[in-house]
Amino acid sequence: MKNSKTLAILKDNLWTNNPIFIQILGICSTLAVTNNLRNTVVMTLGVSFATALGSMTLSAMKDLIPRKVRMIIQVLVLSFFVILIDILLRAYLPEVSKQLGPYVGLIITNCILMGRAEAFAQANKPLLSFWDGLTSGLGYMAVLLAIAVVRELLGFGTLFGLRIMPEGFVTWTIMIMAPSAFFLAAMVMWWAKNKQAARAAKAKAPTQGGKA
Amino acid sequence: MFQKQIMMRRVLYALIPIAALSVWLYGPRVLFILATSLVAATLTEFLFERAKGGKTSEAVLVSGTLLALSMPPAAPLWVVALASAFGVFMAKEVYGGFGRNIFNPAIAGRLFVYISFAALMGQSFYQPGSFGQAAGSLFGQPDAISGATPLAIMRDGGSVPILDLLLGTRSGAIGESSIVLLAAIALYLVATKTAQWRLIVSTLGSGAALCIILWMAGVPGALPPQSLLAGSFVFVAVLMSTDPVSAPKKKGAQWAYGSLIGASVIVIRSFSLFSEGTSFAVLLGNSFASMFDRMASQSAQKRKAKTEAAAKEAGK
């Protein structure tokens, strides 16, 4: 019973209710950081970390929070973890920290964090909330990494800074700029929704056939 | 295989003289660009429509041709194919195909590659004349210096003979140069009611007015009035702003739409980093088109309600 629920959460956050292509949350960072794989990895790890620990903490203290001020408390707790990430990055990855600039601090405004705190951690046990936050972060990470691979490969001809494309390759300047993430994120959404719609239609068809 | 569309055919007929002239200007290379663009555009639309069960429209041939004509003559063929496929895919098919697109596919494709490969495109112009031989070989040779477009020259304070501008014997994108031919095409399209004259007049009029005002006022960066004949301003006014799908349908909205495009062209040309702003201007106009239409129909309704109320009053 318990196991099936964790699996259901995993599937939900990675696919059927993915934060990017179904809930359309966290789009600002999708546009801002995905032109470079290294930054994307750091950013998405940060979001996963903050969402997971934030959800767990909030879930553990949910009975202590007065309902009327819960949003304020949620922001407070989440920002604690975001600041932690910011300090860690500055200490150990100063270069990435400089490139990401304000976006690390802006993780707090990433709707995925507040979304999971409100939608899940409010009504569930701490461990399960941790799992939910983590898998939400992974769902976010999967989409962003896919976009970042395309953008860095075409925009710089590299992956993780390593040259992949041949010497004569003409880089696509537009892939470095934010608009390309709009196209790519939209294409991912389109692909995923089509896929899910096709699956839903398939699942429905046999029962309908049975009725007829 | 194609859905028959008389209007689109007329545009295609009208584009034949331009294509012919550009072969003389830039050599047989133009035909390869044209073919690449048409194949890429048609293939993209065909694949999509097949999946949806729709028909390939003849409009895609117009988009493909217009896109090819707006490329610089030495543009690499893969860039042309990419522009064409991107334009039809992202600006047309994702919106649901012919008749539903907000943006002009040819312009979207052109802008995509112009932004992506700015340096490459900037070096792809060459001197026109005698089937490309003026540039050194039958297939033309890109030359950044002699290939400087008239707009770039005027920006640097130089001048270009007006006769060259009118006849189109100056470097630039493949099909944009001959003002005389474009004027003839405009007459043909308006006479056959394929293009809406209001769109052409408002685009040209507002652009000319703003250009002359800025020039007279001596604003720094303002270009001389001859610049209206340079670049792709006339080409865009005649062939791009009149696209029946992405332009508004109501009278007042059409005036507003054309004026917005014309004015934006001049503003971008004079004050931005880009020497040419026609593509941006058209996309800007496209995004306001349905709003203009809505405003026009709302004000028409208001007027109607008013006259009805007045009639009722009179009836009493």
Q: Does residue A108 lie in a domain region?
A: yes
| Chain A contact present for B13, CB below 8 A | no
> For the domain with range B2-302, which CATH number is right: 3.30.160, 1.10.3430, 3.30.2420, 1.10.10?
1.10.3430
Supply the pLDDT for residue B272.
84
Q: Does residue B89 belong to the interface with chain A, where contact is any CB pair within 8 Å?
A: no
For B260-281, b/e burial (b = at least 16 CB within 10 A) is: bbbbbbbbbbbeeeebbbbbbb
- CA–CA min distance B116, chain A (Å): 4
B118 near A CB under 8 A: yes
- Write out chain B residues lying below 8 Å of A170, CB-based: 117, 120
What confidence tier does A210 reach under pLDDT thresholds 50, 70, 90? very low
Q: Is the CB of A190 less than 8 angstroms away from the CB of B112? A: no
Among the residue ranges A11-15, A110-114, B157-161, the one predicted with the least confidence is: B157-161
- CA of A148 vs chain B CAs: smallest distance (Å): 17
Per-residue model confidence (pLDDT) at position B135: 65
**Smallest Cα distance from A38 to chain B, Å:** 22
B120 chain-A contacts, CB cut-off 8 A: 170
Taking the Cβ of residue B95 and every Cβ of chain A, the question of whether any pair is shorter than 8 Å is answered with no
DSSP B141-170: ---TTTT--HHHHHHTT----HHHHHHT-S
Rounded percentage of chain B residues whose pLDDT exceeds 70 = 94
Contacts of A174 in chain B (CB under 8 A): 112, 115-116
- pLDDT at position A211 is 42
Q: Which positions in chain B touch A175 (Cβ < 8 Å)?
A: 116
User: Is the Cβ of B94 closer than 8 Å to some Cβ of chain A?
Assistant: yes
Q: Which of residues 204-263 of B touch A (CB under 8 A)?
A: none
Contact at CB, A173 and B90, closer than 8 angstroms: no
Q: State the pLDDT confidence band at A206, using cuts at 50, 70 and 90.
A: low
Between chain A and chain B, the number of residue pairs with CB atoms below 8 A apart is 16
Chain A contact for B117 (CB, 8 A cutoff): yes
Average pLDDT (B110-118) is 90
Over the stretch B154-179, which tens digit does the pLDDT of each residue have?
Answer: 877 777 888 888 888 888 888 888 88
Distance CA B231, CA B236 (A): 10
Report the mean per-residue pLDDT for chain B. 87
CB of B294 closer than 8 Å to CB of B302: no
Poorest-pLDDT segment among A28-37, B39-48, B70-79: A28-37
Task: Compare all CA atoms of chain B with the CA of A172 and give the residue at the minimum distance.
Answer: B116
Q: What percent of chain B has pLDDT over 90?
A: 39
pLDDT confidence of residue B177: 82
Smallest CA–CA distance, residue B124 to chain A, in Å, is 14
Structure tokens at B253: 């909205």
* Alpha-carbon distances, residue A44 vs A48, B45, B93, B96 (angstroms): 6, 36, 32, 34
List the single residue in B112, B115, B117 with the smallest CB-CB distance to A170: B117
Q: How far apart are the first and last CA of chain A?
A: 35
The pLDDT > 90 percentage for chain A reads 36
What is the pLDDT, as a whole number, of residue B137? 62
Look up residue A145 and give its amino acid.
L
Round the average pLDDT of chain A to a whole number and report it.
87
Sign of the torsion angle spanned by Cα atoms B43, B44, B45, B48: positive
pLDDT digits (tens, 9 = 90+) for A46-100: 999 999 999 999 999 988 999 889 999 999 999 999 999 999 999 999 988 888 8
Asked if the model's pLDDT at residue A207 lies above 60, the reply is no
**A162 three-state secondary structure:** strand
The residue extents of the domains of chain B are 2-302
What is the structure's pLDDT at A49?
Answer: 93
**Residue with more model confidence, A202 or B34:** B34
Q: How many helices (DSSP H) and strands (DSSP E) are in chain B?
A: 13, 2
Averaged pLDDT, A163-169? 83
Report how far residue B302's alpha carbon sits from residue B305's, in angstroms, rounded to the nearest whole number. 5
Contacts of B90 in chain A (CB under 8 A): 183
List chain B residues with CB under 8 Å of A186: 94
The mean pLDDT value for A128-137 works out to 93
List all residues 6 or more positions away from B167 whose beta carbon is below 8 Å from its beta carbon.
Answer: B178, B179, B180
pLDDT of residue B140: 60
pLDDT(B306) > 60: yes
Judged by CB atoms closer than 8 Å, whether chains meet at A174 and B116 is answered as: yes
Query: Which chain B residues are within 8 Å of A172, Cβ to Cβ?
Result: 116-117
CB-CB contact of B315 with B267 (8 Å): no
pTM: 0.84
Per-residue pLDDT at B316: 66
Q: Measure Cα distances from A113 to A61, A90, A120, A135, A137 in Å.
A: 16, 22, 11, 12, 9
Contact: B115, A177; criterion CB under 8 Å: yes
User: At A166, which amino acid appears?
Assistant: P
Name every residue whose Cβ is closer than 8 Å to that of residue B99 and which is 6 or more positions away in sequence. B245
B115:A170 CB<8 A: no
- In angstroms, the separation between the Cα of residue A50 and the nearest Cα of chain B is 36
CB B242 within 8 A of CB B200: yes
Q: What is the CA radius of gyration of chain A?
A: 19
Cα-Cα-Cα-Cα torsion B70, B12, B230, B113, nearest 10 degrees, comes to -10
For B259-289, the pLDDT digits (tens) are: 999 999 999 988 888 778 889 999 999 999 9
Which one-letter DSSP state was computed for residue A159? Answer: E
Measure the CA–CA gap between A109 and A121, rounded to whole angstroms. 18
Residues 6+ positions from B172 with CB-CB distance below 8 Å = B72, B125, B149, B150, B230, B231, B232
Confidence at residue A174, expressed as pLDDT on a 0 to 100 scale: 87
In terms of Cβ atoms closer than 10 Å to its own Cβ (0-12, 13-18, 19+), residue B205 is: middle
pLDDT in tens, B135-157: 666 666 665 555 678 888 887 77
From the number of C-beta atoms within 10 Å of its C-beta (0-12, 13-18, 19+), residue B45 rates as buried
Q: Which domain holds residue A48?
A: 2-204
